[in-house]
Amino acid sequence: MFKKTKSSVTQGILLAISFIIVSLVIMRNAFAQDGTSKITIYHTNDMHGNVGSCYNPDGKLLQIGLDVIKSMKDNTPNSILVDAGDASQGSALASYSKGTKIIELMNSAEYDVVALGNHDFDYGILRLRQNVDLAKFPILSANVLNEDGTPFLKNDTNNGCNLIKEFNGKKIGFFAINTTETGYKTNPDNVKGLKFEDEVKTSLQQVKELKEQNVDLIVGIMHLGNSPSTKITSKVVAKNVPGIDIIIDGHSHEEYTFKEGNTIIQQVGTASKKIGKIEIEFKDDGKPEITAKIVKSGDLIDPNNPDAYQYIPNADVKKLCDEALNEISNISKTVIGRVNNGLYGGNYEKTSICRLGDTNLGNLMGDALVKEAKRLLSESNISIEDINIVSLQNGGGVRGFIPSGFITIGDVLNVFPFENKVSVKKVVPKQLYEILENGVKTTTLKDGIVYGSDGAFPNVGGMRYEFDINEPAIEFNEAKDEITFSGSRIKKIVLLNDDGTDKLELSREDTETEIAFISNSFETSGGDQYIMLKDLPYMTDDGNPLHVILSDYIKYLTLNNNGFFTYPSNMSRAKIIGSENLFSNFDVQVSIKENSLPVKNKPILVSIDNSQAIEMYTDENGNIVICGLEPGPHDIKFQKDRLCMNNYVNNYLGINKISVFLENKSSDDINSVMDIINGISAQSESDYQNYVNFARISYDNLTDEEKKQVTNYNILLASEDKAEEKSNSLRNNIIAIVIICLIVALCSIAFMLIYKNRKI
């Protein structure tokens, strides 16, 4: 036995007190984690591979990375992390890993439940199954079934349709729905053997099943959206399916929080610019009180805003993300060309511009496709002189924009992250009219602004067209696998010469003239309701993927135009007609900032569509107004000293008020020039001289101070010497060949004269 001393008694009392204090702390923390009545759902949608945090020069968060999201979840008791689909596709990192790296990073952020999106099928069913198996969180979609009627996503860890999360005795039921549009909003070949059940019918079944398990609240995670072109939207589901408390939405890339009946519906846009936060608190009567808001990236981290939350990004997730991005950096940073103006597509000022009209980037892709078709036809021994070639790039496939300046492979991959290759098929004018009818079927005009976003909108090459939005649009049966009315909106299709001038207007009734039609395999397989393309005869084997075709074309334009090219933004091949003066001249209000601060009372050089720059002065708030622009799209360049930025405006789409953030591209330009110089040795014989010229022009455009930082300039000098030697050698060879040909010709003439004289 131990003898009790005064000291031991005192120690025992202190130990007991310490135990009580620690216990109280543990109980308090446990209550904070599990005892509070508040449950928080953080949610994302349509991240499209944008998983890293991005900041402006002042440290303000611009893109919410998974490192920040993990920190938010860790610092919020009783929190659930949800995604509403289309996370694994859409960026260079996503494309190169076929979604695998995105899933791994979502694992590190500890997502709790994820819905399947239509673009998660873009790598094919086999890869999708591999990504689902890789995920440490359940991926659900109750209405996607195998041919035998079993849930497509059912596996050993979940039923593929729904799940229940429990906090302090409160059961939250989740189920997921994928749009039936997936059958034609991914490559149809990627969903063979699957059935997409009706969204409303399936939701009714899921609500019934969850209620039978006595859940206290039901959340539908729905990749549906509320686009006018979508038949069954989240709003339609809320109207027709009682019992859903919350719908976490996706697919249409919109931002909204609204209530339909008793259902709160929320979507947070795309590309990780914002995150949804839904707080649920159960009252004494057991009914939930729900508060939903959309949180901007800058409200999470902004050193200049004391009211921002100032989360510390999770170090482990950040490290994993940085490592993943570094794996592809050497490939994605490779410079392939240079453009004078911006190339526009994707979402711009919250508007999906290529889904509402054609853009210069969409049309550039159209031209690149025509060039690819010429190659494929020639390899198939079809004379390109004897056949007209047209192309179509669906606007929904143009996922981003390329800023002015040097263009990298990464830039192109972010615009065309799909693996879709291209196909050349044979069409006649009557069929071409029907094809374009499908592309403009949803376009409408309201108060002078174009609406009716549709991924099918045709950005084209080799032709231009005119359409009347007041005429009846093409119609399909309910299953969308048969055309019931061909439409009468397309009024004119004109074939173009290589220089862009008009060549030939096509007759709508012409069923004889053969035309080579090239598009990506998503469309030629019937995607975006282009079902009329499925059974058209092929003329060639499949071509390259879109990002390869565009990369090659950008390089071609750059090397053959003295080191840079211009592709105007105000040149349209899709003209809206229907009445006089549909659109009028417009003014643009511009807010100009440098490092997030307004540029007040300063001179700014402004160039519109690559015209001569004019000097304008900002006012005391950092604003200027550009007056009297012609209707339609324009590229405007703003420059202050070495700071510059190109922006897109278009009154057709209501984009006439913009914010300009001037950037110093000095460091990027230096790195790009060094990358170009390092790439000289990899060029083919045919490209070598032009590529060396590209490197020289790029270097000479740097300032003297920037040139000092180009550490591989000696490689450029050596390459120029080598190019000169090749040029001299080629010139000498040509001279030698010419001399030999002259000698042979003279000998032939002499022989003929001798022979003639002998005969006489």
Please report which helix (H) or strand (E) contains residue 114, including its range: strand 113-115
Residues 6+ apart with CB under 8 A from 641: none
Domain match, 353 and 393 both:
yes
Residue with tokens 């302090």: 168
The first and second tokens of residue 329, run together, are 């950096």
HEC letters along 215-269 = CCEEEEEEECCCCCCCCCCHHHHHHHCCCCCEEEECCCCCEEEEEECCEEEEEEC
Domain match, 339 and 434 both:
yes
Domain match, 427 and 555 both:
yes
Residue 116 CA to residue 248 CA, distance in Å, equals 13
Tallying the residues shown for the chain, one arrives at 760
pLDDT at residue 741 tops 90? no
pLDDT band for position 112 (cuts 50, 70, 90): very high
Average pLDDT on 294-310 reads: 93
Closest to 42 (Cα-Cα) out of 137, 95, 110, 140: 110
Domain match, 293 and 353 both:
no
pLDDT band for position 589 (cuts 50, 70, 90): very high
pLDDT at 1: 29
**Residue 489 contacts residue 471 (beta carbons within 8 Å):** yes
pLDDT at 9: 36
Per DSSP, the three-state class of 163 is strand
pLDDT band for position 32 (cuts 50, 70, 90): very low
pLDDT at 35: 45
pLDDT band for position 8 (cuts 50, 70, 90): very low
pLDDT band for position 189 (cuts 50, 70, 90): confident
Ranges of beta strands (E only) in 261-413 are 263-268, 274-282, 288-296, 335-339, 347-348, 351-352, 388-394, 405-408
Domain match, 660 and 675 both:
no
Using alpha carbons, list the distances in angstroms from residue 414 to 123, 408, 410, 422, 429: 16, 10, 6, 18, 34
Q: What is the CATH number of the domain that holds 112?
A: 3.60.21.10
Please report which helix (H) or strand (E) contains residue 219, including its range: strand 217-223
pLDDT at 753: 78
pLDDT at 331: 72
Phi, psi of 668 (to 5 degrees): -65, -40
With residues binned 3-state (H G I as helix, E B as strand, rest as coil), the percentages for the chain, rounded to 5, are 35, 30, 35
Using alpha carbons, list the distances in angstroms from residue 335 to 467, 555, 564, 568: 38, 9, 12, 21
Q: What is the CATH number of the domain that holds 496?
A: 3.90.780.10
The domain in which residue 607 lies consists of 586-664
Domain match, 341 and 318 both:
no
Which of 515, 540, 569 terminates a domain? The answer is: 569
User: Phi-psi region for residue 75, left (φ > 0), alpha (ψ -120 to 50) or beta?
Assistant: alpha
The angle formed by the CA atoms of residues 700, 704 and 707, to the nearest 5 degrees, is 65
pLDDT at residue 21 tops 80? no
Average pLDDT on 645-652 reads: 94
Using alpha carbons, list the distances in angstroms from residue 752 to 739, 747, 749: 20, 8, 5
Domain match, 485 and 379 both:
yes
Residue with tokens 């399909």: 476
Residue 738 CA to residue 604 CA, distance in Å, equals 56
Written as one letter, the residue type at 401 is F
Average pLDDT on 413-424 reads: 85
Using alpha carbons, list the distances in angstroms from residue 614 to 44, 339, 530, 592, 608: 43, 21, 46, 16, 9
Kindly report the average pLDDT of the chain as a whole number: 89
622 belongs to a structural domain:
yes
Residue with tokens 């994820």: 114
The first and second tokens of residue 663, run together, are 């950037």
648 belongs to a structural domain:
yes
Total domains present in the chain: 4
pLDDT at 522: 86
The first and second tokens of residue 174, run together, are 């989740």
Residue with tokens 């490689």: 715
pLDDT band for position 730 (cuts 50, 70, 90): low
| Strands across the sheet containing 113-115 | 139-140, 113-115, 79-83, 38-44, 274-282, 288-296
Residue 735 CA to residue 731 CA, distance in Å, equals 6
> Which neighbouring-strand residues pair with 649?
634
Q: Report, in angstroms and rounded to the nearest whole number, the Rg of the chain calculated over CA atoms.
A: 31
Domain match, 194 and 340 both:
no
28 belongs to a structural domain:
no
**Residue 362 contacts residue 398 (beta carbons within 8 Å):** yes
* Pairing verdict, β 603-608 and 490-496: unpaired
Cβ burial 24-50 (10 Å sphere, 16+ → b, else e): eeeeeeeeeeeeeeebbbbbbbbbbbb
User: How many other C-beta atoms lie within 10 A of the C-beta of residue 391?
Assistant: 27
The first and second tokens of residue 675, run together, are 């990358």
pLDDT at residue 447 tops 90? no
Instruction: Indicate the DSSP class of residue 4.
Output: P
Q: What is the pLDDT of residues 535-583, one digit of tens each?
A: 899 999 888 889 999 999 999 999 999 899 999 999 999 999 986 678 8
Average pLDDT on 118-123 reads: 88
Residue 469 CA to residue 472 CA, distance in Å, equals 8
Average pLDDT on 184-202 reads: 85
Ranges of beta strands (E only) in 480-622 are 483-485, 490-496, 502-505, 515-520, 574-577, 586-594, 597-598, 603-608, 614-617
**Residue 102 contacts residue 83 (beta carbons within 8 Å):** no
751 belongs to a structural domain:
no
Ranges of beta strands (E only) in 349-447 are 351-352, 388-394, 405-408, 422-427, 444-446
581 belongs to a structural domain:
no
Average pLDDT on 582-593 reads: 93
pLDDT at residue 692 tops 90? yes
24 belongs to a structural domain:
no
The dihedral built from the CA positions of residue 181, 183, 185 and 190, taken in this order, carries a sign that is positive
pLDDT at residue 680 tops 60? yes
The first and second tokens of residue 360, run together, are 């210069």
pLDDT band for position 33 (cuts 50, 70, 90): very low
Which of 324, 341, 362 terminates a domain? The answer is: 324
pLDDT at 758: 66
Closest to 558 (Cα-Cα) out of 282, 712, 368, 392: 368
pLDDT at 28: 35
> Which neighbouring-strand residues pair with 565?
339
% of the chain surpassing 90 pLDDT: 70
Residues 6+ apart with CB under 8 A from 491: 466, 467, 468, 471, 577
Residue 538 CA to residue 618 CA, distance in Å, equals 57
Domain match, 366 and 513 both:
yes
Residue 320 CA to residue 326 CA, distance in Å, equals 10
> For the ranges 128-142, 180-194, 475-489, 543-557, which has the lowest average pLDDT?
180-194
Residue 300 CA to residue 292 CA, distance in Å, equals 16
Residue with tokens 């198939």: 380
Domain match, 654 and 675 both:
no
Phi, psi of 654 (to 5 degrees): 75, 20
pLDDT at 100: 95
Helix axis angle for 66-74 and 100-109, nearest 10°, is 20
pLDDT at residue 95 tops 60? yes
**Residue 652 contacts residue 574 (beta carbons within 8 Å):** no
Per DSSP, the three-state class of 88 is coil
pLDDT at 333: 82
pLDDT at 20: 34
Residue with tokens 């070495």: 642
119 belongs to a structural domain:
yes
6 belongs to a structural domain:
no
Residue 696 CA to residue 29 CA, distance in Å, equals 64
Domain match, 541 and 624 both:
no
Domain match, 376 and 403 both:
yes
pLDDT band for position 191 (cuts 50, 70, 90): confident
- Chain-centroid distance, C-alpha 30: 43
Q: What is the pLDDT of residues 358-394, one digit of tens each?
A: 999 999 999 999 999 999 999 889 999 989 999 999 9
Residues 6+ apart with CB under 8 A from 352: 253, 346, 395, 396, 453
pLDDT at residue 754 tops 90? no
**Residue 136 contacts residue 107 (beta carbons within 8 Å):** yes
User: How many other C-beta atoms lie within 10 A of the C-beta of residue 319?
Assistant: 12
> For the ranges 68-72, 109-113, 183-187, 692-696, which has the lowest average pLDDT?
183-187
Residue with tokens 């405006």: 649
